[in-house]
Amino acid sequence: MISLLQEAANTAAEHSEDVAGRAVDAAAQGADAAAHGAEAAAAQGAEAASSGMPQLDFSTFPNQIFWLVVTMLILYWVMSRIALPRIASVLSDRQGAITGDLMAAEEFKQKAKDAEAAYDAALAEARSEAQKIVAANKAEIQKVLDAAIADADAEIAARTVESEKRIGQIRDSAQADAQTVAKDVTAELVRIFGGNADQAQIDGAVDSRLKGVRQ
Amino acid sequence: MEGNIAELGQYIGAGLAAIGSGAAAVGVGNVAGNFLSGALRNPSAAAGQTATLFIGIAFAEALGIFAFLVALLLMFAV
Amino acid sequence: MATEAQGESTGLEFHPMEQFIVKPLFGDGPVQWYTPTNVTLWMGIILLAIIALFVMGTRGRAIVPNRVQSIAELGYGMVHKMVGDVVGKDGLKYFPYIMCLFLFIVFANMLGLLPKAFTVTSHIAVTAVLALAVFISVTVIGFVKNGTHFLGLFWVTSAPLVLRPVLAVIEVISYFVRPVSHSIRLAGNMMAGHAVIKVFAGFAALALVSPVSILAVTAMYGLEVLVAFIQAYVFTILTCVYLKDALHPGH
């Protein structure tokens, strides 16, 4: 392929030489025409070079490579010395700022949490205090109440004892009355039926009978 | 319609070489289509494979570009 | 040649390759290696555009970036992440070089799409130098970092012993084809896109088909914007892949 290309380049060169030769002929006809001819020759020469692919025109390769190398060297120098470190520092600064802000936010959040905990603790303390007061009051009232109940109980007990004593007295007197009545009635009955009974015998009989009843 | 047989051959050859561009299009379509069907099956893995997709497309297309280059060389440089 | 003949017979003029001619900026002399040409001009424009974006744009060093600075940071972040993901942590040492490659190619491709512009990356001379620089530096890095162990890249130990010599031949060939495909892919894509747009634009001379032709040029232009970015991306990511092979040859 390269040999073919060289052949093509050679033919192109011959062609432009021809054109140049014609331009020289034209030069003989006058200065104006010569200038004109030279321009035309140059234009035609460019045309001849362009008839193939400009990419394979090896005569322009050193030029392109030279300017490419120059451009790349400048670009690399600018990028590696100025632009890239600058962007890297900006990005890391931003990262740092974001991290710092996040940490500050975390700190504030922690503070808020602490405040909430303190509030909760105070609330719980107040509540327990109130409960303590309530319990103390309740105990005092209970004590008073207990004392009153005990007093009342004692009074009731005293009165019950007294009442029982009186009931017992009444019962005893009633029993004695009933015995007296029974003895009197028995003695009268014995006297009416004509018996002559000893007062002591009658008492004994009545007592023994009454004992059986009472039991 | 005068012309030498070499010129005729150039044109026929350039036309034949242009078929290669169409073949490269088939290849690129194949790569992209298979990537899409795979990506739809497992969308979470698709994002990490776009680089591979582009490499595959580049390889498929490079060969089509070679065919195009042959056509251009036949047309302009030979 | 062929195009001229066509032009004479139909009245249409196709010069799809004219836009790639390297011309001197001043006068009509021959193109010497030092001559300021349109290559020089457009490389200067590319350089100025990159400096405008990356040096002027980031001058504020703002924590909250403005628009230009955020574009610069976006590009930085994209390439940085690509190098980190594909090559690994030890590849970040070569990040400035890869960043320069990416920026140069993406700006050359994009600025080349401006009307009347000259696309430096459409020339095989430019892309071949870029690809050869990558190839040579990657090979040197591979041998310096790994010594002869780097040759393990070609000796696939996971394959059966019988197949290994065959695979080694294939691997060596594919290794040396890398710079060729690497450079021709970029130049070919750029050249093809611009030539196709030029051909469609040539059809606009016929009144009958000119609306179709203009629509086609618009559509191709959109595609070319996409291709311009993707080719820069692909060039960069392939550089990263080659670098990864050099730093970690054990697959």
* Model confidence at A7: pLDDT above 60: no
Per-residue pLDDT at A213:
60
CA distance A46 to chain B (A): 16
A213, A176, A210: which is closest to A202 by C-alpha?
A210
Q: Is the pLDDT of residue C225 over 70?
A: yes
Nearest CA in chain B to A56: B77
C22 Cβ contact list (under 8 Å, min separation 6): A54, A57, A60, A63, A64, C31, C37, C38, C39, C123
| Angle between helix C95-112 and helix C67-86 axes, rounded to 10 deg | 120
Would the pLDDT of A116 be above 50? yes
pLDDT exceeds 70 at position A20: no
Is C233's CB within 8 Å of B54's CB? Answer: yes
Inter-chain CB proximity B65 and C189 less than 8 Å: yes
Average pLDDT over residues B28-50: 90
Exposure string over A124-145, b if 16+ CB within 10 A, otherwise e: eeeeeeeeeeeeeeeeeeeeee
Cβ neighbour number for residue C175 with a 10 Å cutoff: 16
Q: How confident is the model at residue B1 (pLDDT cuts 50, 70, 90)?
A: low
Q: Which residues of C touch A77 (CB under 8 A)?
A: none
pLDDT of res. A49: 43
Q: What pLDDT, on a 0 to 100 scale, did the predictor assign at position A34?
A: 42
Percent of chain A topping pLDDT 90? 49
Asked if A64's CB is within 8 angstroms of C73's CB, the reply is no
Task: Give every CB contact of residue A83 below 8 A, 6+ residues apart in sequence.
Answer: C51, C54, C55, C58, C72
Which ranges of C52-123 would DSSP assign to H, the alpha helix? 67-86, 95-112
Given this model, what pLDDT does residue C162 score? Answer: 87
Q: Where are the domains of chain C?
A: 8-247
Q: Which residues of A touch B73 (CB under 8 A)?
A: 1, 53, 56
Tokens of C164: 């290994």
CB-CB under 8 Å, C18 with A87: no
Task: Name residues whose C-beta falls within 8 Å of residue C172's C-beta, 6 or more positions apart in sequence.
Answer: C154
Residue B44 inside a domain? The answer is: yes
Lowest mean pLDDT among A22-26, A135-139, B74-78: A22-26
- Which residues in chain C are closer than 8 Å to A84, comparing Cβ atoms? 76, 95-96, 99
- pLDDT, tens digit (0-9, with 9 covering 90-100), for A161-201: 999 999 999 998 988 888 888 888 888 888 888 777 777 87
Q: How far is the alpha carbon of B25 from chain A, nearest alpha carbon, in Å?
A: 25
**pLDDT for residue A176:** 86
Predicted local distance difference test score (pLDDT) of residue C27: 80
Asked whether residue B2 is domain-assigned, the answer is no
Residue B37 lies in a domain: yes
Mutation pick from A10, A47, A50, A56 vs chain B, by most beta carbons of B within 10 Å, is A56
3-class DSSP assignment, residue C157: coil
- Residues whose CB falls within 8 Å of the CB of residue A6, separated by 6 or more in sequence, listed in order: none
The ipTM, to two decimals, is: 0.87
Tell me whether residues B77 and A51 touch, CB distance under 8 A.
Answer: no
Place B2 in a pLDDT band, splitting at 50, 70 and 90. low
∠ CA C243-C249-C250, nearest 5°, is 145
The answer as to whether B22 is a domain residue is yes
Please provide the average confidence, as pLDDT, over all residues in chain C.
Answer: 87
pLDDT top residue among C153 and C142: C142
Residues of B whose CB is below 8 A from C82: 51
Chains that touch B (3 or more CB pairs under 8 A): A, C
Which residues in chain B are closer than 8 Å to C4, comparing Cβ atoms? none
Contact C251, C151 (CB under 8 A): no
What chain B residue is nearest to C238 in terms of C-alpha separation? B55
Domain that includes residue B62, residue range: 7-77
Closest approach of C11 to chain A, Cα-based (Å): 18
Neighboring chain A residues of C27 at a CB cutoff of 8 Å: none
Please report which confidence band the pLDDT of residue C209 belongs to, taking 50, 70 and 90 as the band edges: confident
pLDDT digits (tens, 9 = 90+) for A58-114: 888 999 999 999 999 999 999 999 999 999 999 999 999 999 999 999 999 999 999
Evaluate whether C175 touches C162 at the Cβ level (below 8 Å): no
Residues of C with Cβ-Cβ distance to A67 under 8 angstroms: 37, 39-40, 43
Which CATH number belongs to the domain containing residue B54 in this structure? Answer: 1.20.20.10
% residues pLDDT > 90 (chain C): 47
Above 80 in pLDDT, residue C9?
no
Chain B residue whose CA is closest to A7: B78
Shortest alpha-carbon distance between residue B73 and chain A (Å): 8
Task: Give the least confident one: A14-28, C68-82, C93-107.
Answer: A14-28
Residue entry with tokens 């970040």: C92
